[in-house]
Amino acid sequence: MTVGKKRQPSLAQLRAFAAVAEHLHFRDAAAAIGTSQPALSGAVSALEETLGVTLVERTTRKVLLSPAGMRLAVRAKAVLEEVGALMEEAEAVRAPFTGVLRLGVIPTVAPYLLPTVLRLVHHRYPHLDLQVHEEQTASLLEGLTGGRLDLLLLAVPLGVPGVAEIPLFDEDFVLVTPLDHPLGGQRDIPRAALRELNLLLLDEGHCLRDQALDICRDAGRGDVPATTTAAGLSTLVQLVAGGLGVTLLPRTAVKVEVSRAGGLRTGSFTHPAPTRRVALAMRAGTARGAEYEELAGALRGAMGELPVRTVGA
């Protein structure tokens, strides 16, 4: 007697269902995985037929997961993550520093560190296909944990479960002022001075904004009123040059931003100066972990001309 084999769901069906479970919207789910809405709907229907259960409750206004759908969405996500890990392992086994490396970088690091990173990769790892994505921290972490990105270059600590950090360097913050500001050019500014200054900040979502607020709190200042904010450091220093206030810049940004804006002076804080730490971040247990550790060491060695203090092994 021959027993027929049970039908198995395809990866395409699982990806479609996982996208619907995440977005609860067929159009958004289709866009997220790069397929058409009819194809996505068909894949989910085929998965329901294969499994013999209803996964999605379709209404005229929204999409809901059935009780079975909520349970199986967790399993589908786990299967897809394992398949991603399998592909990553296979790529790492073939040869280190080959294939694609999707690097995410925050906007307050990218313009000042990427020249060093790109030179290093070009000369030392010519067979590595480096793809750079500039995004804010929350988006980068979502991309890393979801498998869209492989490695991040950003400010830490993150404190995210399942994400390992490889420290690269520490750098001081400096105070950027208009030319006629009494603190402009000083080399021994006490942190307490931040209590009275009109401090300009980046928009919500930038980790540098949160770091600046933490520095102010350490100095004994409460919330900083957000009367004027900027989407990027270039705009921020232009506002300072225009006399609207002062701001804090990481030292790696000073050479580019202050010279570009003109009409500015920088001042240093008394020891210990407020600092930030920049690191690489990867998924804990990634198959390319040793490769990323080696890349971190090479980056530390390439930072001799930057105004930073390298840290780590």
pLDDT tens for each residue of 184-195: 889 999 988 888
Average pLDDT, the chain: 88
Q: What is the pLDDT of residue 207?
A: 79
If one compares 81 and 60, the residue with the highest pLDDT of the two is 81
What pLDDT does residue 308 have?
A: 94
Class at the top of the CATH hierarchy for domain 97-161+284-306: alpha beta
For residues 133-164, b (16+ Cβ closer than 10 Å) or e, as one string? ebbbbebbbebbeebebbbbbbbbebeeeebb
Architecture of domain 170-275: 3-Layer(aba) Sandwich (3.40)
pLDDT value at residue 253: 92
Strands 56-58 and 63-65: antiparallel
In this prediction, residues 192-209 reach a mean pLDDT of 82
Comparing CA positions, the residue from 262, 211, 254 lying closest to residue 233 is: 254
Task: Determine contact, residues 139/157, Cβ cutoff 8 Å.
Answer: no
Q: Which pLDDT tens digit goes with each residue over 156-173? A: 988 899 999 999 999 999
- Look at residue 221 and tell me whether its pLDDT is greater than 90: no
Q: Tell me, what DSSP letter sits at residue 60?
A: S
Q: Where are the domains of the chain?
A: 11-91, 97-161+284-306, 170-275
Phi, psi (5° rounding) for residue 260? -70, -40
Reported CATH class of domain 11-91: mainly alpha
**57 has a pLDDT exceeding 50:** yes
For residue 9, give both structure tokens.
């769901």
Q: Do domains 11-91 and 170-275 have the same CATH topology?
A: no
Pair 132, 100: CB distance under 8 Å: no
With residue 282 as reference, give the H or E element that holds it: strand 275-283
Q: What is the pTM of this model?
A: 0.71
How much is the pLDDT for 6? 74
Q: How far are the Cα atoms of 73, 239, 244, 252, 274 from residue 191, in angstroms, in the given order?
A: 50, 22, 20, 20, 8
**Most confident by average pLDDT, 82-91, 95-104, 240-249, 276-285:** 276-285
Checking if the pLDDT of 183 tops 80, the result is: yes
